[in-house]
Amino acid sequence: MKRKWLLASACCALLFTLTGCGKTVEEQIDTGVASAQTVFEENPQQPNKTIGKIELYVPSGYDVKESEDLNNLIITQGEESYILFVNYQEKEDSNLQYELLKNDSSKKIIKEETVEFDGAFGFSAVLDYDEEQFELIVSSGGVKMSTISEDENIDQKLVDMMTIVRSVKVLEEKE
């Protein structure tokens, strides 16, 4: 009898796993954008890395390094590369990045969502990049992160990106 229950439990777990992997691109985008908004409204993760004048939280499995441009960091996870852009002049409530996106007629936005919470403005967006790739963008105030992605794990990538963006703190210059 125990063996039957164990087998049934294993089959259910496998079914749930396969169902999760079988999300359509549209479902991944919808889930990812909604989840990124939820992450925006939560308490930011405490930074665990300092690069130059930037403190940020880098999830397990991700690496971060400075680029030649002091406003950009390169974040990688395996083969995936992300660009983290920090505009030191913009405040938490800035919507400059969003306005730049909306005013760029060359961008084909599939889905975007803005959020305002506790004096901060942010957004997440998925853009059509080419036939098989998407541009993922998340932003909080003057901090923006983007990547070009295949149609896999879009939902999790958007969550991780928003988690990173929301954690960014610019270190004040000591006078």
Question: pLDDT tens track of the chain, all 175 residues?
Answer: 544 443 344 433 434 444 445 789 999 999 999 999 999 999 999 999 999 889 999 999 999 988 888 899 999 999 999 999 999 899 999 999 999 999 999 999 999 999 999 999 999 999 999 988 999 999 999 999 999 999 889 999 999 999 999 999 998 765 4
pLDDT at residue number 9: 40
- Within a domain: 85: yes
- Within a domain: 175: no
Which structural domain range is residue 103 located in? 23-170
pLDDT at residue number 69: 85
Q: Alpha-carbon distance 156 to 96, whole Å?
A: 25
- Within a domain: 16: no
Identify which of 155, 152, 80 has the alpha carbon closest to the alpha carbon of residue 124: 155
pLDDT at residue number 21: 58
- Within a domain: 106: yes
Number of domains in the chain: 1
- Within a domain: 12: no
Q: What tokens does 17 get?
A: 């796993």
pLDDT at residue number 16: 42
Question: Do 134 and 126 meet the contact criterion of CB atoms below 8 Å apart?
Answer: yes
pLDDT at residue number 7: 39
Q: What is the CATH number of the domain that holds 144?
A: 2.60.120
Question: Do 94 and 142 meet the contact criterion of CB atoms below 8 Å apart?
Answer: yes
- Within a domain: 14: no
Q: Alpha-carbon distance 138 to 39, whole Å?
A: 11
- Within a domain: 101: yes
- Within a domain: 13: no
